[in-house]
Homo-oligomer: A and B are copies of this chain.
Amino acid sequence: MKIKATISYDGTSFCGWQKQPGKRSVQKEIENALLVLFDQKIEVNASGRTDAGVHALGQVISFDAPDQVSPNNLYRNLNAHLPEDIRVLKTEKADDDFDARFSAKTKTYVYKFYLSRYEHPLKRGREWRINDNINVDLMIKNLPCLVGEHDFSSFVSKKSGKTNFVRKVTSAKINKISDFEYELEISANGFLYNMVRIIMGTLVDIGAGRGGVSKMQEILEAKNRARAGKTAPPYALYLKSVVY
């Protein structure tokens, strides 16, 4: 039986979603739990890989479970065999041809940041601190140009093995969370390696005064990673949800 599961994890102690020899990955932990539960090796697919340190609020995975399982209760059994930093929020029966990666239509990431002269003790490892002299309005004005189908070569890590850099961004906005807290929220049909983190790093450069209202557009059109900003740190990035 094909199972679709929604999971959340704290990425702090993982090398990322994907299995890597000798390292602690989310995929490996879930495959271990399935092995204990069903006494057989079951391969698990995710909507996409998350990097080391990146969190998930609503990552979606798929796998084949023995036909006798009760799909809606499976999440309890899985949680009993998972470490505290991974939780299965929901399990359900899916169509036989469902694949968490290839069936995904839209994924949404949020990048959390706050404006302050000092790191807040209770935000460590969860939100990125930005100096409070930044111009958030200017950051917001630079977002609309990202929406649409574009070649995002300027916003991909050089380590990416990909050759096709065209993705369709369906939404890009900054949500105000409190007086000094914000989140960048981006939805797309797919994301390149480090794409959200490079966009975030570039936005902060722009907000700090390096570029005007059309700076992001210029960088996008340049199709050159060297024109964009630094890669923002992983710990403030969250895979929020996946739509199928």
Contact = CB atoms under 8 A, between A and B. Distances in A.
A55 interface: yes
A16 to B, nearest CB: 15
Interface string A1-32: 00000001110000000000000000000000
Interface stretch (A81-89, A158-166, A188-196, A203-211): A81-89
A58 to B, nearest CB: 11
Interface stretch (A61-69, A98-106, A115-123, A220-228): A115-123
Interface residues of chain A: helix, strand, loop or mixed (majority): mixed
Contact of A84 (B10, B79, B86, B121): B121
Interface residues of A, number: 21
Contacts of A85: 121, 124
A44 interface: no
Interface in A23-46: none
Nearest to A122: B10
Contacts of A75: 118
Most chain-B CB neighbours within 10 Å: which of A79, A87, A126?
A87
Nearest to A7: B121
26 contacts: A8-B120, A8-B121, A8-B122, A9-B121, A10-B121, A10-B122, A10-B124, A55-B121, A55-B122, A57-B122, A75-B118, A79-B118, A84-B119, A84-B121, A84-B124, A85-B121, A85-B124, A86-B121, A87-B118, A87-B119, A87-B120, A87-B121, A88-B118, A89-B118, A122-B126, A122-B238
Given A55-B122, A79-B118, A84-B124, 16 more contacts: A8-B120, A8-B121, A8-B122, A9-B121, A10-B121, A10-B122, A57-B122, A84-B119, A84-B121, A85-B121, A87-B118, A87-B119, A87-B120, A87-B121, A89-B118, A122-B126
Interface of A: 8-10, 55, 57, 75, 79, 84-89, 118-122, 124, 126, 238
